[in-house]
Amino acid sequence: MRNLDFTPLYRSAIGFDRLFNQMEQNVSNPNAGYPPYNIEQQDENHYRITMAVAGFADEQLDITQQQNKLIVRGVRETESKEERHYLYQGIAERDFERKFQLADYVKVIGAKMVNGLLHIDLEREIPEEQKPRKIAINGRNLIEGE
């Protein structure tokens, strides 16, 4: 396991503390690879997170958005107390919690489960006052005829 030290970057980067803390947290998380996921950009303002959650039913999954954080949890029910004897166990049967940091103005618009894949659709809605706008120079209006 690699350990990354971002200390030298703290000295030369101002305002990026949160970014470096997130990177350190992701590197040090032992369950960072489970469950596997993809993040896809469908167009300029639409995204999709797809997670492989084979073995989980819809009711065993919980999706929560808290401000700019998306949290996906999977909790498996204990089927029986008897001990199983595997010759090979390649399917992970464990609970998980995966956190995603969302950009400003990104919200979850839907989720669906298809063939063991959980699809979470996201949309970025920038408020009108935050969108780029033209500024007149020296009081000159940029629209013709005015």
Q: What is the dihedral of CA 107, 21, 37, 43, to 10 degrees?
A: 40
Q: What is the mean pLDDT of each run of 10 residues along the chain (146 residues)?
A: 58 54 57 84 92 91 93 82 80 87 91 95 89 80 53
One-letter amino acid at 105 equals: Y
> In Å, how far from its chain's centre is CA 127?
21
Residue 46 makes CB contacts below 8 A (sequence gap 6+) with 121, 122, 123, 124
Q: Which of 135, 130, 124, 103 is nearest to 44 (CA)?
A: 124
Contact 62, 96 (CB under 8 A): no
pTM passes above 0.75? no
Indicate where the chain has its CATH 2.60.40.790 domain(s). Answer: 35-77+88-130
Question: In this predicted structure, what is the pLDDT of residue 135?
Answer: 84
Q: Which of 48, 45, 25 is nearest to 97 (CA)?
A: 25
Question: In this predicted structure, what is the pLDDT of residue 1?
Answer: 47
Q: In residues, how long is the chain?
A: 146
User: Tokens for 38?
Assistant: 């993809």
Residue 116 makes CB contacts below 8 A (sequence gap 6+) with 52, 53, 54, 55
Can you tell me the distance from the alpha carbon of 63 to that of 122, in angstroms, rounded to the nearest whole number?
Answer: 12
Can you tell me the distance from the alpha carbon of 105 to that of 125, in angstroms, rounded to the nearest whole number?
Answer: 5
Contact 10, 18 (CB under 8 A): no
Question: In this predicted structure, what is the pLDDT of residue 77?
Answer: 75
35-77+88-130 CATH pick, 3.20.20.70, 1.20.120.450, 2.60.40.790, 1.10.10.10: 2.60.40.790
Question: In this predicted structure, what is the pLDDT of residue 132?
Answer: 85
